[in-house]
Amino acid sequence: DTEVTQTPKHLVMGMTNKKSLKCEQHMGHRAMYWYKQKAKKPPELMFVYSYEKLSINESVPSRFSPECPNSSLLNLHLHALQPEDSALYLCASSQDRRRNQPQHFGDGTRLSIL
């Protein structure tokens, strides 16, 4: 079992749909991350939130919109996605932004765009 919970585990959506991915942790961590992982590739960082503020956006297209409503929750809102956005989306958290803090990963949401 992971301490970072992601829902849903699987999501299939059309290119015109709007959906959201959810990530939750109750470890008191103040840094949270979204990664995108294509098959047989390492994860790619998308966004970093620190103390509920967006601190890194790795030039992600605006069809991906992150939100951190409180210190335990991280959402990723999806709109007008493209087939190439099909991937595993991983959430992670760490105690804070200081280096040498391990990141704890969720099991991911497998997203398929039709």
Partner 1 sequence: KNEVEQSPQNLTAQEGEFITINCSYSVGISALHWLQQHPGGGIVSLFMLSSGKKKHGRLIATINIQEKHSSLHITASHPRDSAVYICAVLTQGGSEKLVFGKGMKLTVNP
- Examine residue 43 and tell whether it contacts partner 1 (CB under 8 A): yes
Q: Using an 8 Å Cβ cutoff, are 44 and 60 in contact? A: no
Burial class (CB in 10 A: 0-12, 13-18, 19+), 19: middle
Two structure tokens written together for 94: 């760490």
Residue from the set 11, 13, 45, 60 that interacts with partner 1 by CB under 8 A: 45
25 makes contact with partner 1 (CB under 8 A): no
Q: Of residues 48-107, which lie at the interface with partner 1 (CB under 8 A)?
A: 48, 56, 88, 90, 92, 94, 97-107
110 in contact with partner 1 (CB under 8 A): yes
DSSP string, 80-96: S--GGG-EEEEEEEESS
Contacts with partner 1, residue ranges (CB under 8 A): 2, 31, 41-43, 45, 48, 56, 88, 90, 92, 94, 97-108, 110
